[in-house]
Amino acid sequence: MFKKIFGAKDTNVIPNAEVEKKMTTVDGEKLGESEEMLLYGGFQELNDYYFFEALFISIPAIKSKKGATITFKSKRGDVTLQASMLEFESEYAKPLQRNATQISFDIEKNQIRKIQQGAYEEIELKLKKKVFTLSKH
């Protein structure tokens, strides 16, 4: 009955390239990717506070009530950001056959430059007991 109302999730996983073709608008640029996740991000400023707005397009659903951290890993030092919100949850995007999760992270102005310059090799998203590793795009 619920499948009729909400639609069944497709068990066939489409590749990232196909997902990207189906996406019509995304604020920010593609920063990382793995087999199970794509990361798009951009930066916002509000009254001298800076935020990294991340959009995760993933196969697994993401849900947290205790926040998350994202780390941009580099040989010259890591940049770790704390989520500015503790609770968030994925929404299933049927046309993409993936889950979409938007998370806002607190960031300092000097950290923005490092990320924009691409001074990282991989990205690590940590939620409770789950860790997702993405390669730099």
| pLDDT greater than 80 at residue 10 | no
% pLDDT > 90, the chain: 61
| Mean pLDDT in residue range 112-131 | 92
24/52 Cα distance (integer angstroms) = 21
pLDDT of residue 94: 83
| pLDDT greater than 70 at residue 25 | no
Of 68, 86, 87, 41, the C-alpha closest to 128 is 68
Q: What pLDDT band is residue 129 in, cutting at 50, 70 and 90?
A: confident
Q: What pLDDT band is residue 4 in, cutting at 50, 70 and 90?
A: very low
For residues 22 and 76, the model is more confident at 76
Set out the domains of the chain in order of their start, with CATH numbers.
2-136 (2.60.40)
Tokens describing residue 137 = 């795009």
Q: Whole-prediction pTM value?
A: 0.81
